[in-house]
């Protein structure tokens, strides 16, 4: 069971694995990291979309992310797992909908310091890091599915307004941690 049966292998794609792979993770830290991003950014997007549209948006971004990863290396035999691509779509949507919202970051300056930074700054740096990581990565071995992160983020930016609730005109200017 697990990754062998439900993880998506780019060289051997099964449709059900495009979805099932989003619900598996390579480690506890992988899962915890994804859930932290979902907790911080996902609630405002769910409020904006509503529960059902949020689920559809999440899965749509995850599928787009997974497919871009597959197309980036169609001969790979390494399974891809994780919610990172879908969550990256949430980050892309958050960038458009709540750019002025402030998020709290834990930063190490000799001691742990909490900084409040605009979401747009955090998310632009996050995306730049994903893009630079693609440029320096090799297709050798496992690791992070950088193309999935990029694909999900772009999908989120491109389609968020197609999913919005009807009569949703006022966006929250503050993030959940204000």
- pLDDT, tens only, 12-31: 999 999 999 999 998 999 99
Cα(133)–Cα(14) distance, integer angstroms = 27
Residue 57's alpha-carbon distances to 30, 49, 128, 134, 165, in angstroms, are: 22, 9, 23, 25, 12
Q: Which CATH class is domain 3-163?
A: mainly alpha
pTM: 0.88
Domain ranges of the chain: 3-163
CB 87 within 8 A of CB 37: yes
CB 77 within 8 A of CB 109: no
Cα distance from N-terminal residue to C-terminal residue, the chain: 42
- pLDDT, tens only, 35-84: 999 999 999 999 999 999 999 999 999 999 999 999 998 999 889 999 99
H or E segment at 63? helix 51-72
């Amino acid at each position: 069971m697990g990754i062998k049966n439900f993880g998506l292998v780019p060289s051997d794609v099964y449709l059900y694995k495009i979805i099932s792979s989003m619900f598996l993770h390579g480690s506890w830290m992988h899962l915890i990291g994804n859930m932290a991003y979902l907790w911080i950014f996902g609630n405002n997007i769910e409020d904006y979309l509503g529960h059902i549209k949020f689920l559809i948006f999440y899965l749509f971004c995850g599928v787009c992310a997974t497919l871009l990863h597959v197309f980036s290396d169609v001969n790979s035999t390494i399974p891809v797992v994780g919610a990172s691509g879908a969550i990256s779509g949430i980050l892309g949507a958050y960038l458009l909908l709540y750019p002025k919202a402030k998020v709290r970051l834990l930063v190490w300056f000799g001691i742990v310091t909490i900084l409040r930074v605009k979401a747009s700054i955090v998310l632009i740096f996050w995306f730049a890091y994903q893009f630079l990581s693609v440029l320096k990565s090799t297709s050798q071995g496992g690791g992070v599915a950088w193309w999935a992160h990029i694909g999900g983020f772009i999908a989120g930016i491109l389609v968020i307004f197609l999913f919005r609730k009807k009569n949703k005109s006022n966006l929250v200017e503050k993030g959940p941690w204000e």
